[in-house]
Chains A and B, each alone.
Chain A
Amino acid sequence: MNEGWIWDRHTPLALEALGQTLYMVAATLLIGGVLGLVLGLALYVTRAGSVLPNRYVFGVLNVAVNIVRPIPFVILLVAVAPLTTLLVGKFIGTTAAIVPLAIATAFGFSRIVEQNLVTIEPGVIEAARASGAGPWRIIATLLIPEALGPLLLGFTFVFVAVIDMSAVAGIVGGGGIGDFALVYGHQRWNQEVVWIAVGVIIVLVQLVQFTGNTLARKALRR
């Protein structure tokens, strides 16, 4: 039964799976990243004593994030199927898997963004206000640059988490490296396929982490 890695058979399948993973991860990071950034900014600026305090908006967002974040991804994946159908037209496939991935990413990233923004010295924002800057200018031109280093590290963390989550996408027919390892490796008792898939993911994660660390170091000028 254990046939090992058959070059002609497994290599094209693995490459296709890698392509699916990269597509899901890239799209998820783009959509989920932007939404998470906006949501995180909104959480930060609406909290009491911040630049646009609004207890109602903050309360709603805070509760929403607390509700969505603890949902295990496997469950979220199938739970949002109606929304996926509405947005993509179907809930099966690689593109369809991006919807739950982006939702989980947006909510997860929002907390990281919020926590990193909190580290900005309040005095810096006060100095901007004393210079005549209004809340929107502070949000648009000051908050993200001032917290850029930690934000890049946070984004790297999320990047790796998305690679992790995308491995489960096989459940809704999303394909990807994780699905490849399960279908052609584990289910056929082919350990070599499993380990090669694991190796590919490790290399991918290392590349991402290295790039993230380098960029963050540059942003922090350390």
Chain B
Amino acid sequence: MPIIEFSDVTKTFTTQQGRVVALDSVDLAIEQGEIFGVIGYSGAGKSTLVRLINGLERATSGRIVVDGVDISSIPEARIRPLRARIGMIFQQFNLFRSRTVAGNVAFPLRVAGWPKAKRDARVAELLHFVGLLEKAHSYPDQLSGGQKQRVGIARALATSPRILLADESTSSLDPETTQDVLALLRKVNRELGVTIVVITHEMDVVRSIADRVAVLDAGRIVEQGTVFDVFSAPRSETARRFVSTVLHDQPTAGDLERLQEAHAGRIVTARVEDGSRVGSVLSDAGRHGVRFEIVFGGISSLQERSFGSLTIELLGPDEGVDAVVAELAAVTEVVERRGVARELEEVPA
């Protein structure tokens, strides 16, 4: 049974401009123990989606079951105790400036009514886990962004939640600190078995830590699947745009135009995966009297698997080129790059 399940969830807001649909019949199932990414542009409804999980926002219609409890049907006062089982971290960290680091981490424990001695021991344990034990008596204003987010993570984990919600948790950090925080989240997932829902607009974040991903666009989930599947074969335009922000293996229309001007031969793009043997086919191209040139491409690895594509110019007699394309097509997916109009959409799913 999924730990978080959305069934036909819709959320609308009433503003002065009228009704705004933030989420439109969303179905989602997040499994126990995974890191699930939700990616979308700002305004896509990501923040709303994550806040429905811990009841900070309430669904307009539909059913949301979290850790076995249907939270869409119970009042706020009954959701409150459940929040001890759902931690949350934020883009702006949202630490309490009037409390020390230890005081921040102790806050959820006070709310949960832990006695002082137990609370102190737990705070020390958590600060040790996030590597900030020596900062226990500092105030948030004295910490760097990365340290603040570590405190945020320690606070979110205080009551040993089964779920951690990360709302753009690295978006205000520099790249290096982002990697540190992502590594910490991975450790939280692996060592503590916490299910993590990562909301982000950065594909790199999804690529680094998520197991599965949902692509949200204008309140709808347009695509979801394993990170590998979505990355290697995005089906929606939104997903393709996100993938292209981190992978530049596919030539854009402009790239193609330039390539076609510069190269007289036939241009094809071949998908590369583990064991797809594109190189072997090309090295035998000479037998058909065909020469080849690699003109564009990139190969990357994701979830311990290779993927990417190479765009190749083939020069030689037509029959020979046809034969090489046929051999390539036998081992992998091939896209012809004859005209500018033939763009990325034509990559078969």
Tally of A-B residue pairs with Cβ under 8 A? 64
Does A75 belong to the interface (CB within 8 Å)?
Answer: no
Does A121 belong to the interface (CB within 8 Å)?
Answer: yes
Residue contact B96 to A146, C-beta cutoff 8 Å: yes
Mask for A192-222, Cβ within 8 A of B = 1, else 0? 0000000000000000000000000000010
Residue of A nearest to B142 (CB): A221
> How far is A121 from B96 in the complex, measured between Cα atoms in Å?
10
Interface residues in B27-55 by Cβ distance below 8 A to A read 54
Residue contact A123 to B92, C-beta cutoff 8 Å: yes
Interface residues in B119-165 by Cβ distance below 8 A to A read 139, 141, 152, 155-156, 158-159, 165
Also in contact, A145 and B98, with CB within 8 A (given A126-B90, A131-B107, A131-B155): yes
For A133, list chain B residues within 8 Å (CB): 80, 107, 111
Number of A interface residues, CB 8 Å?
19
> How far is A124 from B155 in the complex, measured between Cα atoms in Å?
13
For A39, list chain B residues within 8 Å (CB): none
Also in contact, A131 and B83, with CB within 8 A (given A123-B92, A137-B111): yes
Residue of B nearest to A130 (CB): B88
Residue contact A123 to B90, C-beta cutoff 8 Å: yes
Mask for B95-127, Cβ within 8 A of A = 1, else 0? 111110000000110111000000000000000
Residue contact B139 to A221, C-beta cutoff 8 Å: yes
> How far is A8 from B141 in the complex, measured between Cα atoms in Å?
56
> How far is A55 from B92 in the complex, measured between Cα atoms in Å?
30
Residue contact A131 to B99, C-beta cutoff 8 Å: no
Residue contact B90 to A127, C-beta cutoff 8 Å: yes
Residue of A nearest to B103 (CB): A145
Q: Is the interface of A mostly helix, strand, loop or mixed?
A: helix
For A121, list chain B residues within 8 Å (CB): 92, 94
Residue contact B98 to A146, C-beta cutoff 8 Å: yes
Also in contact, A130 and B56, with CB within 8 A (given A124-B96, A145-B98, A148-B98): yes
User: How close is B69's CB to chain A, nearest CB, in angstroms?
Assistant: 14
Interface residues in B213-264 by Cβ distance below 8 A to A read none
Interface residues on B, range: 20 to 34
For A146, list chain B residues within 8 Å (CB): 96-98
Also in contact, A128 and B107, with CB within 8 A (given A123-B92, A221-B141): yes
User: How close is B245's CB to chain A, nearest CB, in angstroms?
Assistant: 27
For B108, list chain A residues within 8 Å (CB): 131-132
Interface residues in A124-142 by Cβ distance below 8 A to B read 124, 126-134, 137, 141-142
Residue contact B141 to A130, C-beta cutoff 8 Å: no
Best-buried of A132, A133, A146 by chain B (most CB within 10 Å): A132
> How far is A124 from B104 in the complex, measured between Cα atoms in Å?
11
Best-buried of B86, B88, B96 by chain A (most CB within 10 Å): B96
For B139, list chain A residues within 8 Å (CB): 221
> How far is A132 from B83 in the complex, measured between Cα atoms in Å?
5
Residue of A nearest to B91 (CB): A123
Also in contact, A132 and B111, with CB within 8 A (given A126-B56, A145-B99): yes
For A137, list chain B residues within 8 Å (CB): 111
Residue contact B54 to A130, C-beta cutoff 8 Å: yes
> How far is A148 from B139 in the complex, measured between Cα atoms in Å?
15
Does B279 belong to the interface (CB within 8 Å)?
Answer: no
Residue contact B84 to A123, C-beta cutoff 8 Å: no
Residue contact B97 to A134, C-beta cutoff 8 Å: no
For A124, list chain B residues within 8 Å (CB): 94-97
For B155, list chain A residues within 8 Å (CB): 127, 131
For B77, list chain A residues within 8 Å (CB): 134
For A123, list chain B residues within 8 Å (CB): 90, 92, 94
> How far is A145 from B156 in the complex, measured between Cα atoms in Å?
21
Does B81 belong to the interface (CB within 8 Å)?
Answer: yes
Residue contact A132 to B80, C-beta cutoff 8 Å: yes
> How far is A130 from B84 in the complex, measured between Cα atoms in Å?
8
User: How close is A53's CB to chain B, nearest CB, in angstroms?
Assistant: 12
For B81, list chain A residues within 8 Å (CB): 132
Q: Supply 18 A–B pairs (Cβ within 8 Å), ascending by A.
A: A121-B94, A123-B90, A123-B92, A123-B94, A124-B94, A127-B155, A128-B96, A129-B56, A129-B83, A130-B83, A130-B165, A131-B107, A131-B108, A132-B83, A132-B159, A133-B111, A134-B80, A137-B111
Taking A124-B97, A145-B96 as given, write out 7 further A-B residue pairs in contact, using a Cβ cutoff of 8 Å, ordered by the A residue number. Answer: A121-B94, A124-B94, A130-B88, A132-B82, A132-B83, A132-B111, A146-B97
B contact residues vs A (CB 8 Å cutoff): 54, 56, 77, 80-84, 86-88, 90, 92, 94-99, 107-108, 110-112, 139, 141, 152, 155-156, 158-159, 165
Listed from nearest, the 9 A-B pairs whose CB atoms lie closest are: A145-B98, A127-B94, A131-B108, A123-B94, A132-B83, A130-B88, A132-B111, A133-B111, A146-B98
